[in-house]
Amino acid sequence: MLVLGVETSCDDTAAAVLQDGQTILANVVSSQDEVHGPYGGVVPELASRQHIKNIMPIVDGALRKAGATLKDVDGMAVTYGPGLVGSLLVGLSLVKGISFRSGIPYVGVNHLEAHLLAIHLEHEVAFPYLALLASGGHTLLYCVRGVGDYAHLGGTRDDAAGEAYDKVAKMMGLGYPGGRAIDQLAQTGNPKAIRFPRARIKSSAYEFSFSGIKTAVWHYLKSQSEEERRAKAADIAASFQEAVTDMLVRPAIAAARTGGIERIVLSGGVAANSRLRAKMKEEAEAAEVSVYYPAPKFCTDNGAMIALAGYHWLKRGRRDDFSLNADADLTL
Ligand code: KG4
Ligand code: ZN
C-alpha cells in the first residue's frame, strides 16, 4: 500500500511516499527559514505564499524520488490541523484536488498525532508509551496506548519549549529558528554558569511553563554589558538549555514512574536537542525506563510521519470527503 503524505501546517513544505507503513521511499522537505529568518518568527502570510510556490515541486519531487506516479498511489494523507490556517489550506486543497481528479482516497491527519507516532518510522516500540511532544507550537505529555488512543497527561501553561528556544535565540542575536543554534553554541558552554529558574506548577506534576525562563534570560542579558554578553554567550546558551531540559525531563520521568509506563518516546523539533536526548536517557536509565527518539529529520515537521499516521487510518477504512476543512486549533 503506497501512501503519499503532505504536510504544510507551519513553515515547512513537506511530502513523502511510504510503502506499507514501513518503507520510506521518499521524504522531501523545503524549509522556509530564509524567508522568516529576518522577521525572527513565522509570518503567516509569507508562509502560505511560500507553500503555494513549493508544494507542486515538493510533491512531484517526492513521487519522482520514490520512482512512482500518482497511478501507483493507493491513498493520501494530509495535515488538516492544528497549525496556521492559510498554510494548512494549501496542502489540504492540493490533496483534495488530486483526490477529486484521480479518485485516490485521502484522510486528514492531526499533526500532533503524527508527531506521537513518528517513532514507528524507525523503531518498533510497544504500546503503551509515554510521549513527550516538544515543538515550536506545543509542549505536551501523552500516554499513547495505541493508534487513536491517546491520554492527555499535561501540557504547557504558556510558551512552548521550542518557542522559548526561538525567543531566547532572537534575544541573543542567533537567528531564527534558534533551537539548533543554541544547541550548537551550548556545546562549548558551562551549563552551571548561570542558575536560571526551573518553573514548577504546584497543582500538577505534568504541566510545563516556559515564559519565566524566557524573562529570566532577558533580565540576565540586560544586566550584562555587550562585551560580557559576547564573552558569556556559550555559557548563557548552555545554562538556558540545561534549565529547559530539566523542566522537560522531570515531568516525563515522573509520569512514567507514576503510571508504571516502561517506555518514553520523544517527538517534535525540540526532541532533536542533544542535551534533552542525553539527559532523558540518563534519568530514564536510573528509573529503569527505555527512551526512544526519532532521527532529527523525523523530529521536525516532515511528510513521512503524516503518511504513517494516514496509513493507519486508511488501513482501518477511514476516508474523508471534500467537506473536510482546515482546523487551526485542532486538538487530539
Ligand atoms: O516540530 P517542529 O519542526 O515544528 C513545529 O511543529 O513547531 O519544531 C520546531 C521547533 C523550533 O522551535 C526549533 O527551534 C526547535 O523545534 N528545534 C530545536 C532543535 N532543533 C529544532 N530546539 C532545540 N534544540 C534543537 N536541536
Ligand atoms: Zn510539528
Integer-rounded Cα radius of gyration of the chain: 20
To the nearest 10°, report the CA torsion of 166, 150, 282, 241: 10
C-beta atoms surrounding 325 within 10 Å:
11
Q: What ligand 1 atom has the least distance to the C-alpha of 300? A: 3
Residue 200: predicted pLDDT: 84
Per the listing, cell 562549548 goes with 188
Distance CA 231, CA 185 (A): 12
What is the C-alpha to C-alpha distance for residues 18 and 4, in angstroms, rounded to an integer?
7
Measured CA to CA, the distance from residue 199 to residue 284 in angstroms comes to 21
Q: Which of 183 and 11 is assigned the larger pLDDT?
A: 183
Q: Ligand 2 centre from 134 Cα, in Å? A: 8
Cis peptide before 128 (omega within 30 of 0): yes
- pLDDT for position 201: 82
Dist CA 35 CA 46 (whole Å): 8
Backbone dihedral region of 38: left (phi > 0), alpha (psi from -120 to 50 degrees) or beta? Answer: alpha
Query: For the residues 35-52, what does the mean pLDDT come to?
Result: 91
Please give the pLDDT value at position 26: 98
Contact assessment for residue 9 and residue 79, using Cβ atoms and an 8 Å cutoff: yes
Q: Which atom of ligand 1 is nearest to the CA of 296?
A: 20
- Tell me the pTM: 0.95
SS3 70: helix
For 51, the grid coordinates are 507553500
The amino acid sitting at 173 is G
What separation in Å is there between the alpha carbon of 11 and the centre of ligand 1? Answer: 12
Q: What's the pLDDT at 203? A: 80
pLDDT at 160 over 90: yes
* Predicted confidence band of residue 281 (pLDDT cuts 50, 70, 90): very high
Average confidence (pLDDT) over 99-112:
98
- Cα(307) to ligand 2 centroid in Å equals 14
All three cell numbers of 151: 491520554
- The arithmetic mean of pLDDT across residues 297-303, rounded, is 96
- Taking the CA of residue 160 as reference, the ligand 1 atom at the shortest distance is 12
Q: Which of 118, 142, 120, 115 is nearest to 259 (CA)?
A: 142
Q: Taking residues 218-240, what's their average pLDDT?
A: 97
Q: What angle do CA 164, 166, 169 make, to 5 degrees?
A: 105
Q: Which residues line ligand 1 (CB under 6 A)?
A: 10, 135-137, 162, 165-166, 177-180, 183, 268-270, 272-273, 300-301
Q: Kindly report the backbone phi and psi dihedral angles of residue 150, in degrees, each rounded to the nearest multiple of 5, phi listed first.
A: -120, 120
Residues recorded for the chain:
332
Mean pLDDT of 30-43: 87
Residue nearest to atom 24 of ligand 1 (CA): 273
Task: For a ligand 1 pocket test, name from 300, 305, 330 the mutation site with the most ligand atoms within 8 angstroms of its C-beta.
Answer: 300
Q: 33: pLDDT confidence band, cut at 50, 70 and 90? A: confident
